Structure 1
């Protein structure tokens, strides 16, 4: 299956999906040293996004979250790619700075199609998600 989407940060990435229908704050919500969600109120609490395709509706919180994403890239703990329903500036800026492929506005409801651990390719050059 191939799903069209909007390109935010160019590149290609693939891996197992880690998905949540709740927005995520990277500042205080994610440990940049491990890539693990540390916000105890978030459904992904205790799970690592390192090397995975992160699927979320969008981000929330402080603009410093962009730098957390950048630090994750430097630490080798960043997601392989990010898919958002609607990207907002915090995650978009972080993905661009970190060189993480990112897309948004998929033409299908990914929360109805994707599930944890499903292998997905994000082609943020052609604007496609391949399941």
Structure 2
């Protein structure tokens, strides 16, 4: 069976891009509650608890936490090389955006469809923030 790629428009927040396996969180996330060594979410009760975001395309509801906590979490992940390859965010908020800017983490929002309907865990996703495009290939 041939895989089908779907293309979606989005809005660039932070330039760049990446591609890889999607990891999806319909809930907000605090990056300070990720283990910087592994990128594993350690927040108790979070849908991604125990899973690593490192090297993935993170589809995220939004960020949560104070600016100091969020920026420090992003910075620690950046230093250890365990950030996602790119982030697709549903609800943009200033702390998440400023954290991404500080570490130059590619980020987009305003996907032309609901990202939680178009992308599932394990799908292959390419984010090109510069071209304001997301390509999704469903997992088998």
Whether TM-score is above 0.5 comes out as yes
For residue 71 of structure 1, report the CA deviation from its aligned partner.
Answer: 1.9
- The list of structure 1 runs, each at least 4 consecutive aligned residues, that deviate by more than 4 angstroms after superposition, is none
TM-score (ref. length: structure 1):
0.94
Query: Is the deviation greater in 118-127 or in 88-97?
Result: 88-97
| Equivalent position to 2:118, from 113, 122, 125 | 113
Matched, 1:39 2:43: yes
Give the aligned CA root-mean-square deviation in angstroms.
1.0
What is the aligned partner in structure 1 of residue 26 from structure 2? Answer: 21
SS of the equivalent of 1:69 reads helix
**Structure 1: how far apart are the matches of 2:96 and 2:21?**
20
Deviations 1:21-43 (A, max 9, x none): 1111122x212222110011101
Structure 1: any 5+ residue segments left out of the alignment? none
Larger Rg computed on CA atoms: 2
